Amino acid sequence: MNPARPLRPALLNFAYWPEVRRGNERLVHDLGTELARRGGSPSILTSHPGPSARTVEDGVEVIRRRRPPESPLRLRKIQPNLTHVPLSYGELCRGDFDLAHSFFPTDALAGTRWGAATGRPALFTITGIMGRENVANLRFRKRILEAATTRSDAVVTISRAAGDAVWRWLAIEPRVIYPGVDLSHFVPRERAERPTIACASDPGDKRKRVDLLVRAFSLVRGERPEAELLLMRPSDPALARELEGKDGVRLLAADADTAPEMLATAWVSALCSLREAFGLVLVESLACGTPVVAARDGALPEIVDRPEVGTLFDGDDDRQVAAALLEALELAGDASTADACRERAGDFSSEATAAAHENLYRELIADAD
C-alpha cells in the first residue's frame, strides 16, 4: 500500500442509520465520519429493506443492499442477519478496499472470506459482552462467532470487560479500543435550577434497570424534595403513563437531539445497567461536565475510575442507589467537578478512537504486504 494514499476501509454492519440507531450503528457512524474527517476514505457496507442504493452521508459513502427476507431464519431460531452476507461479500469484491472491518459476526463471515480471497486484512469488533444468554441462544451462533474470530486478522473489543469475556468463551485475546465521543457536540451548558438527575436509557429495556433508578429516586426525594428525574419517553404508552404518575419524574422525547441538552443541563446522569460492554452515555455525560452514577458491573468501572467524576453502586438495593445519587448531587456542587469530568471524557475522544483504529489498520496492512 502506498503510505501517501488515504486509508480505504470497508465498515460492515447488517443495519445502519436511520433504520436502526443502536450501539453498533452509532459506532460505525462515528468511526466512519471521524476517519473521513481525518482524510480517510471509508465506506459503510450495510443492508436495508428498501432498494439498493449508494449515497454519501456525513462525508462517508454508504452502500445499502436490499436485505432478503429473514423470517425463515427467525422461525427456526437460526442466527438472523445472515441473508445479506453474500451481497456484502459481492460489494467487497467489487470495491477497492484496503481492509474489511466488521461489527457483527455474520458480517465478519463476508469480511474474512473476502480477506482470504484477496490477501487483504479482515478484522472484527465485538460490541457486546459474551455470555451464555447471547452465545448459545440461537442455532449456529457460537459456530459463527468462532468462525468470525478465528478467521479474522485481529479481534477488537470496546472494553477490557468485554475482552475478558471473549477470552473466557473463545480463548482469544482481543485488542481493546474504546468508542469515542464527539467533544464538540457534547459540551457543558448552564445547569438546571433544580437538582436534576438524567437517564438517557430506554425505560422499556429491562437490562437498563430504569425501574431501579425510579425506585431509588423516590428515596432521593425524601432528602431533596425539589429534585427532578428526566427520562426518555418509552414507546409503550402504558409504561409512559405509569412513569408520568411518579412525583418528580419528567419524560422527554426520545430522539438523537435530546441527549446532549438533557445531559448538559442535568446535575447528575445515571446508568443502572448490567453487562454493559462500554457505556457511551456515561462518557457523553462527562463530556458535558456532568458527574455520573453507575452500577459496578461490566465496563462501567472502566469509565468511572475516580471519585472526582462520579459514584458506583453495587447490587440492586434501592437505598444504595439513592445514596450514590445523593453523593453525586453533592459532587455536582463542587466547582472543580465539571473540569474533572470533561478531562476524563477527553480520554475517550472520537479523535483518539479513530487514531487507534488507523494505527491498527496500518499495522494489519503492513503485515499483509
Please give the grid coordinates belonging to residue 110.
463476508
- Burial status of residue 327 (CB atoms within 10 A of its CB: 0-12, 13-18, 19 or more): middle
pLDDT of residue 197: 98
197 contacts 186 by C-beta, under 8 angstroms: no
Tell me the per-residue pLDDT of 335-346, one tens digit each, with 9 for 90 and over: 899 999 999 999
pLDDT of residue 2: 55
Give the least confident one: 25-34, 138-147, 188-197: 138-147
3 state DSSP class of 335 = coil
Q: What does each C-alpha distance from 226 to 49, 221, 291, 328, 334 come to in angstroms?
A: 47, 7, 19, 16, 19
pLDDT of residue 277: 96
pLDDT of residue 357: 98
Distance from C-alpha of 149 to C-alpha of 21, rounded to nearest angstrom: 25
Q: Report the DSSP pairing between strands 43-48 and 9-12.
A: parallel
pTM over 0.85: yes
Tell me the per-residue pLDDT of 118-145, one tens digit each, with 9 for 90 and over: 999 999 999 999 888 777 777 888 889 9
pLDDT of residue 131: 86
Whether the per-residue pLDDT at 256 is higher than 90: the answer is no
DSSP string for residues in 248-292: TEEEE--STTHHHHHHHHSSEEEE--SS-S--HHHHHHHHTT--E
